[in-house]
Every structure is written in structure tokens, then in C-alpha cells.
Chain A
């Protein structure tokens, strides 16, 4: 049973525009959420995270928003750049230590010039 869902397998955005990647979760016990970025033939790399006590976290061009009541989070990339083209995974955990992460199936983002 998929506890973290990314319902859009792909997203195509023009360079300079905003990219919005969405993620939904079903387990209300999740207390920390992370986004990972993955290029072909490489391992995923940590991008940004947010605690359940916050509703927004920003790091440069990347902002993650959390709506706990809707069990929904989103990653905004502004402005999008061709180098952002990658697969983005949403992940969630529960409990006070990092431990096991539950991953979504990923969204392939393509940023075209």
C-alpha cells in the first residue's frame, strides 16, 4: 500500500517558469518530509526537507509547502533551469529518528529552453 503518492509521473516546464511537483500521503503519523533529486545513472541526492510543525521551508530556488490537513506537500522551483531536469522523489518518515523513509514513485521533470 503506497503511503506516499506522486500522481504525476512527468512534468514539462519552460526555462524560467515555475515548476510545481506534488506529493500526497496517507499516514498522519508522518512527521518529516524530504525531497530527493535523481539524475540518470546516479544515486538520489537530498534536496530539501520540512518538519510537520512548519508549513513552508525555503532554500534558494526551492521551496517546499506542507498542508497537513490535506496531507499534501509540494515542491516549487523558481525559476526553473535546464539543469533541474531530473526525477524528483518525495519521501516521508515517522518518529524522532531518521530511520526508514517511505518514498513516492517519482516525477520526471523536464525543463526545456
Chain B
């Protein structure tokens, strides 16, 4: 099982450029999430989705947009990259309902550097 797959794994952007990070899961999970991890800051939620066609803001949504056109995919877009968006980005997915003990399944991350 592939689980959660993130592409690309690494990327360097110039300030002002745009890009899209792709997350794909093959576990038929309803919920999907985008987090960023920065030194000393832990994991902070950017956006999340509770089902196909739905998205919602997390705690640090500014500068990002997302789309969930298909249940298995969750895209994170940066329209105009800024150095403050240099980070490691993690996608995760989960079941809703009673399977809470399974937690999230995370991807392996995308390391983004904005210069």
C-alpha cells in the first residue's frame, strides 16, 4: 500500500513564483490535511478537507489555497511564494467517525525553499 504520497519531495522557488503541491491517498479516507513544520513550531494546520469538494481554513491559511476535486487528491497552491513559506509541508489523511485510534496517516513531506 502506498498510503499517502506527496509530490514533489523537494523544490526551490524564487520569490513571487507559484507552485502546487500534490497529495494523493489510496486508503479511501474522507479527511485530508495540509500541515507545515517549522523549527521550534511543531505542526501547524494550513487547510483541511472533510470530503470531496469541501475545504476549510486551519490556523495558518494565508498565502495558500487548496482544492479537493477528487476524494483521493488534495492540492496545496502557493500563488506568489514568499521566503516565509520556506518550510516542510506534510499532507495527512484520516477516517472520520469511530476509527479515531488509527490517527492520521502522513506523507513523507515536501521540503520547500523560497529564495
Contacts and interface: CB of A to CB of B under 8 A. Distances in A.
Contacts of A36: 103-104, 106
B101 interface: yes
A45 B106 CA distance: 7
Interface string B93-106: 01111011111111
A80 interface: no
B95 to A, nearest CB: 6
Contacts of B74: none
A89 B108 contact: no
Contacts of A42: 108-109
A81 B44 CA distance: 29
Nearest to B111: A41
Interface of B: 4, 31, 33, 35, 40-45, 48, 50, 58, 90, 92, 94-97, 99-109
